[in-house]
Amino acid sequence: MTPLPVGYLLKRTHLLYRGLMDGRLAPLECSAAMYEVLFHLHHGGPQSGSQVAAAAGVTPQTMHRQTKGMLEAGLLEARAGRGRAITLALTPAGETLFGRACDELEALEAQLAQGLSADERAELGRLLQRAEQNLQPLPSD
């Protein structure tokens, strides 16, 4: 049997993982897309919507739609930034939801790494990071 292309396997794995994330987060009234916003703001501190969009790999318009609902739900707060810019930050409710979501996703992470040694899991992480870096656009001169 011919091995499947790595990109195809990565896409299939991503779709499966994303669907399982949504399923595990649904009882928390959270989605994988919301988790991504919470993740970036928790680890990166207050940021503009454009910065969060870039980190998540979506357009600013898509991120605006996502964060609008999160602002209305009290998970995020908008702070004055430079000029007319708005900075997004997690509220205590957003931090709480992020912690609960992380707890819920630990089991999924364990399922993903089932049968891998600690060294293999670390190597998988390094290989995925390298693949991501290889696909990043080159800086313009």
pLDDT digits (tens, 9 = 90+) for 55-106: 888 888 999 999 999 999 999 999 887 777 789 999 999 999 999 999 999 9
Q: Please give the mean pLDDT across all residues of the chain.
A: 92
Q: Which of 59, 37, 35, 34 is nearest to 46 (CA)?
A: 37
What's residue 56's pLDDT? 87
- Element (H or E) spanning 88, and its range? strand 86-90
Q: Which of 67, 74, 27 is nearest to 51 (CA)?
A: 67
Rounded to an integer, what is the distance from CA 23 to the centroid of its chain? 15
Kindly tell me the sign of the dihedral angle through the C-alpha atoms of 22, 36, 88, 66. Answer: negative
Amino acid type, 9: L
Instruction: Note the pTM of the prediction, 2 decimals.
Output: 0.85
